[in-house]
Every structure is written in C-alpha cells, then in structure tokens.
Amino acid sequence: MRLVLPFLACFSAAVATYAASDDISEAKVVVSENPPTLSEFGFFDGSVARPSKKLIPYELRTPLFSDYATKQRFIFLPAGANITADKDGRLIFPVGAALIKSFGYPAASGGLDVIETRVLLHKASGWVALPYVWRKDRSDADLRVGGTRIPVVFDRNGTKTSISYSVPNKNQCKQCHSVANDIMPIGPVWQNMNFTRDGDRQRLSHMLPTLAQLPSFAVWDKGDAASLDERAKQYLNINCGHCHAPKGSASNSGLFLDGSSRDPVAMGMGKRPVAAGRASGDLDFIIAPGQPERSILVKRMESTDPGIAMPELGRATVHEEGVDLIRDWIASMPTTGH
C-alpha cells in the first residue's frame, strides 16, 4: 500500500523556492557530525507515518527495484532556498537541502511498515549519504554507517517471501551515488518525477518553462504509448545507469546504460565483457541480439549469487517482471549472427 500525503510547496518565478519552518533542524543537515538518530533532523513528527508538513513528497515514474520494497520520497529545502536544473532535467539542490527516502513493506494492519530511511545531506563539503534503521517499536531510527541485514517476510502475489534485507553501509551508498568520484543525487530527474500533491507539477512547469518542455520518461511496466525499446532502455537507465555511465563507478566496463550513448555496442549489443569470469559463464556477449538465453545481461539479472548478480547491491530477490521485460526486448532484436 502506498501512502499519499497532502503537503504544501510554494515556488517563485524561474526557480522553485520552498519556505521551511522550525520543525526541521537546518543546522543538523549541514553540521560535520552526523546525528546518531533520525529524530534529531525533525523530518518526522514522532513517527515515520507523520512526515513534516515542510517536506515535498514525490514519486518516480520508473523507480529503482529494491526487493519489492515500497518507497516514500521527500525533498527538504532550507528556508528561502531555490531549486534549479541542468539541461537534462536533473534537479540541482542548494547546500542545506536533504533528500529523504524510506523503505518498507505493507503492514498487516494496513499502511506501511518502514524498515529504514536513507538521507542524502547537502553539506558545504558536498553530499553525504547515511542509512538510518528504525527500531522495532518504530519510535526512532538509528544511524548504521556499517549497514546491517534484517529478516523480512512479505506477501508477493499471494505467496509469502522471506529475504535477508540489506541496509547498505556508507561506502555502498557512495558506490551507487558516485559521479566522477563525488556523491550526487541520482533519482530527482524532472522527466522521471511525479508529485503526489495535485497541482505541484503544473506549478513547477509554469515556473520552470525549460523543464516543462522535457518529455516524461517511459513507465517501464506500462504500455501507454511507449515502445518496448523505450521501456526497456528506461528500466536499464534507472536500475543500471547510475553505475554504468561515463562518470559512474562502472565506467571501466565500457557498458553505458544511462542513455548517454547511441552506440549499440556501448549499450551491450554484441559487446564482449571486459573481464571474462564466473559472472559471464560460457556466454560471449552482454546482449546477444535475438537470443536472451545467450545474453550475459539476462543471466546476471536472473541471479542472486553475490558474485554474479547485477545490480550487485540492493537486492536479494530477482525482479521477475524486469527480467521478463529485458528478455522480450532482446528477443525482439534482429539476430546478428554472433
């Protein structure tokens, strides 16, 4: 179940501006010492079910897969601060801003049972990524820079699924959020964002006309007007492109799935892996056009083995719907004779 909460956000001309109040500690966001408990920020009013009214909620049209967890996303801006954007629609946040993302599963009593909340804090020295794990009584969440594992049971299509849920450590957070060796937000891209309060997107579109001209990303799991090719590439962009990018942590692979390349080989088609090994098995190409069963990409998506699975962080299960999409996409490609 997804919680949709009403919040207020006001925007100035040319840039988005949000007026914060005293219930959130702006000082805690920017200080060098990281608070040991999430409550010290004031993002939530005593409970994860009561986010501060000064947070801006949003959703992603195509979200990153994380073991079928439901996520709640928020933006915090300090008083009088502005949001701008680059030409590609990536939002640019001021020092003092924070991005808050909670992960959880539907509770038996209804609502969402949140397990962890990750925060990205924009300090003067740059962005810092921190994971906070909620206590059993959900009274507060504690900083776990070393990460942890939590046993989780959730219902999926009527079947109980048990996993060892992984809360990433601070270095793993950095690995996924690394752009040219700096930590950066990767989710808030205008074309992939929906605002859960009616009217917010329209107001932003009016105030930020350059962004308004950018078309929305395809929703990977819905037909809509998007083609199979568009949906598959968007899925790979969101789930793989933050690492497999020219400035990402997997740039040395030469496999770029972030949409920056138009070279079919750079996107994996007929591309041999940089390093052969157990992960590639007896397969020759990242993508063997027309042959999903001969494609390393599919093999790694279907695995949960830590030495084979891709993405290698953030999942203990196979995203079956995502695998089906990529299989269908590769099967639709003309066979090249490889």
- Residue 11 above 80 pLDDT? no
pLDDT at 65: 94
Task: Give the chain's end-to-end CA distance (angstroms, integer).
Answer: 45
pLDDT at 211: 79
pLDDT at 333: 96
Whole-number percent of the chain with pLDDT over 70:
87
State pLDDT tens for residues 97-154.
999 999 999 988 888 999 999 999 999 999 999 999 999 999 999 999 999 999 999 9
More confident residue, 147 or 338: 147
Report residue 177: phi and psi, to 5°: -95, 15
Q: What is the DSSP letter of 9?
A: -
- Residue 6 above 60 pLDDT? no
Report residue 246: phi and psi, to 5°: -55, -30
Section 190-200 average pLDDT: 82
pLDDT at 335: 87
Q: What is the DSSP letter of 253?
A: G
Question: Please, where are the H alpha helices in the chain?
Answer: 26-30, 170-176, 200-207, 209-212, 228-240, 296-301, 320-331
Q: Which residue type sits at 158?
A: G
Q: What's the Cα-to-Cα distance from 229 to each of 220, 233, 287, 326, 329, rounded to whole Å?
A: 10, 6, 14, 9, 6
For residues 147 and 167, what is the distance between their CA atoms, to the nearest angstrom?
5
More confident residue, 210 or 16: 210
Q: pLDDT-based confidence at 336, cuts 50/70/90?
A: low
Q: pLDDT-based confidence at 203, cuts 50/70/90?
A: low
- Residue 205 above 80 pLDDT? no
pLDDT at 180: 63
Coil, helix or strand for 178? strand
For residues 208 and 309, what is the distance between their CA atoms, to the nearest angstrom?
40
- Residue 22 above 60 pLDDT? no
Least confident range from 31-45, 166-180, 214-228, 301-315: namely 166-180
pLDDT at 166: 92
The model's pTM is 0.85
State pLDDT tens for residues 151-192.
999 988 888 999 999 998 877 776 677 676 678 898 899 999
Section 196-217 average pLDDT: 73
- Residue 40 above 70 pLDDT? yes
Reference 103, options 132, 129, 143, 69; nearest CA is: 69
**What average pLDDT does the chain have?**
85
Give the other-Cβ count within 10 Å of 271's Cβ: 21
- Residue 337 above 70 pLDDT? no
Give the pairing of strands 70-76 and 56-60.
antiparallel
Q: Which residue type sits at 110?
A: G
Contacts of 100 (CB under 8 A, 6+ apart): 43, 51, 55, 73, 74, 75, 76, 117, 118, 119
- 75 within 8 A of 55, measured Cβ to Cβ: yes
